Structure 1
Amino acid sequence: MSATTSAKSSSPKRSQQELRRVAVSMAGWTVCGLALFMVIGPLLDVVWVVASRGISVFSIGLFTTVTNGTGGGLANAIEGTLVLSGGALLIAVPIGVGAGIYLSEYGSNKIGSLIRFLSDVLTGTPSIVLGYFSYIVFVTTLGWQFSTLAGSITLAILIVPYLARISELALRQVPVSMREAAYALGANDPVVVFKVVLPGALSGVITGVLLALAISVGETAPLIYTAGWSNYMWNGQLTH
């Protein structure tokens, strides 16, 4: 009799605890939903406004005609982005990957520590500061004016640290046994680096190059001081 009574008295307590857990869970999900809406809502609103107002002018001409005042297309901007980013990669990839190779294979000294320190400092430097520095050096001092070469060099300076550190990390992932096997077969340092280590880290290096390309494509602040804006297609000149 007492066992039956205690079971009956404990069941309301369990039901109250379950209701409390359900209420807390519902409150938590509600807060999470509101937070998600606060984050995604403005983005969806921007996408909707741009899509609803821009669909009327979205055509193939948007990508094939140049800018004309506040109208026209984006052909000159797209071409300029490709030219500047391509030039930056041509400059930055050999330097960045070369620095990554040095840091990975021979960088356990003071020079390697200095390169890593300078790379970290350059990574944390605001891009507009680099743009203003390039404006003083290339546009004003060297007299290149707003030009393709000034913009490409500025973007290259911006992405070299990323290439160096990502390449270093990718090269360090190559097993030491592969290096030791190559040395055991009589290979010298250049052969080990370029025939064994670099091919083994190629996917990571390519990832670094793609990341650097994305960074250079998305940068605008340094180009304000170096490349400027043109309503025309690129004429092939580098310094004017």
Structure 2
Amino acid sequence: MADRTTTLAAQRRSIDVRRKIANAVFWAACFGCLAVVVGPTLWMLIGVLTRALPVFHWDVLIYNTQGSGGGLRNAIIGTVVIGGGVMVVGGTVSVLTGIYLSEFASGRRRSVLRGAYEVLSGIPSIVLGYVGYLALVVFFHWGFSLAAGVLVLSIMSIPYIAKATEASLEQVPTAYREGAEALGLPLGWTLRKIVLKSAIPGIVTGLLVALALAVGETAPLLYTAGWSDTAPTGKLTNSPVGYLTYPIWTFYNQPSASAHALSYDAALLLMVFVLLLIVIGRAVTWYTRRYSE
């Protein structure tokens, strides 16, 4: 009996040791994967900060670009205008698409639409930019313009926002819809006041992710928006627009120190812009969750 008890105790200790080893290996693998993702990101951020901060001057915020020197006022305003246009055009189409797929579409129609935006998400951005150049800039004679850039980036953002909207709406409990239907509430009122209100955090997250991806693109804008040393004029067509990714991509390869400084400054401002989007997204999510309870 004593030998059996000793054997069982030894087996338990062996099992505990194996569990601890497996647990340690699992957490080591998790931290290793995290380091693989976070490490390059930190390396990039630190590299940008160490190069941009020593040459950064507040003058870049108030002066337009002049050749490969000057400031970045035109690029900052252009980025904000392009981002706003993407939210208006792409955001509206995408959110309505997500609502339709989640609440109204069924069967083959839902499968076709869902497959269409999933295929769209796999098309390289440079291909969309080239198609936009051929169709909008050349065929429709829009020229390099704000409208062409916004439309191409809006098309690129549709899959991300539509998928986020659909997923957020599907996570809203069915009991909400059933309760509203039992009370005789109109479908439109239920959708606006109950369903969408509960799904706002996920929808906002999708919008901001798509916006961050859009303002960080270069190739589609080179083909459609062109580049301008002046601030946007308000014309939608035949008027090139500046944006922050252009000096990052173009000025970095030029030999002058002023061009390099503008490239680093543009990279820093773009990082700040994306950081602001993250903060705004977290604030909106916190506010909506707090007041929707």
Task: Provide the TM-score with structure 2 as the length reference.
Answer: 0.65
Aligned pair count reads 208
| Corresponding residue number in structure 2 for 1:77 | 75
User: What whole-Å deviation, never above 9, does each CA across 1:85-112 have from its counterpart, x for those lacking one?
Assistant: 1111100111111111111112331111
Other structure's SS at 2:55 match: coil
| Corresponding residue number in structure 1 for 2:269 | none
Q: Which runs of 4+ in 1 moved over 6 A?
A: none
Identity %: 44
Q: How does 1:35-50 map to 2 (within 5 A)?
A: 40=39, 44=43, 47-48=46-47
Match of 2:60 among 49, 59, 62: 62
| Corresponding residue number in structure 1 for 2:109 | 111
**Aligned-pair distance for 1:58?**
1.1
**Aligned-pair distance for 1:43?**
6.2
Aligned residue type for 2:63: T
Match of 1:158 among 156, 159, 169: 156
| Corresponding residue number in structure 2 for 1:172 | 170
* C-alpha distance in structure 1 between counterparts of 2:95 and 2:42, whole Å: 37
Task: Provide the TM-score with structure 1 as the length reference.
Answer: 0.79
Match of 1:125 among 123, 126, 132: 123
The CA RMSD measured in Å over matched residues stands at 2.5
Corresponding position: 1:92 with 2:73: no
Aligned residue type for 1:124: G
Corresponding position: 1:220 with 2:242: no
| Corresponding residue number in structure 1 for 2:181 | 183
* C-alpha distance in structure 2 between counterparts of 1:56 and 1:209, whole Å: 34
- Classify 1:44/1:105 alpha carbon distance in 2 versus 1 (closer, same or farther; 3 Å): closer
Runs of 5+ unmatched residues, structure 2: 1-23, 239-293
| Corresponding residue number in structure 2 for 1:21 | none
Aligned residue type for 2:95: V
User: What whole-Å deviation, never above 9, does each CA across 1:24-47 have from its counterpart, x for those lacking one?
Assistant: x9xxx9xx99xx69x948964884
* C-alpha distance in structure 2 between counterparts of 1:207 and 1:61, whole Å: 33
Aligned residue type for 2:137: V
**Aligned-pair distance for 1:64?**
1.4
**Aligned-pair distance for 1:174?**
0.5
* C-alpha distance in structure 2 between counterparts of 1:67 and 1:232, whole Å: 7
User: What whole-Å deviation, never above 9, does each CA across 1:136-163 have from its counterpart, x for those lacking one?
Assistant: 1110111010000000001100001111
**Aligned-pair distance for 1:56?**
4.3
Aligned residue type for 2:191: V
Other structure's SS at 1:201 match: helix
* C-alpha distance in structure 1 between counterparts of 2:41 and 2:173, whole Å: 47
Other structure's SS at 1:65 match: coil
| Corresponding residue number in structure 2 for 1:233 | 231
Q: How does 1:139-154 map to 2 (within 5 A)?
A: 139-154=137-152
Other structure's SS at 1:174 match: coil
Runs of 5+ unmatched residues, structure 1: 1-24
**Aligned-pair distance for 1:189?**
2.2
Aligned residue type for 2:74: N
User: What whole-Å deviation, never above 9, does each CA across 1:194-225 have from its counterpart, x for those lacking one?
Assistant: 22211111111111111111111111110111
Aligned residue type for 1:190: G
- Classify 1:129/1:232 alpha carbon distance in 2 versus 1 (closer, same or farther; 3 Å): same
**Aligned-pair distance for 1:51?**
4.7
Corresponding position: 1:204 with 2:202: yes
* C-alpha distance in structure 2 between counterparts of 1:179 and 1:89, whole Å: 28
* C-alpha distance in structure 2 between counterparts of 1:169 and 1:51, whole Å: 36
- Classify 1:42/1:208 alpha carbon distance in 2 versus 1 (closer, same or farther; 3 Å): closer
User: What whole-Å deviation, never above 9, does each CA across 1:144-195 have from its counterpart, x for those lacking one?
Assistant: 1000000000110000111111000000111000000000111232222122
- Classify 1:187/1:43 alpha carbon distance in 2 versus 1 (closer, same or farther; 3 Å): closer
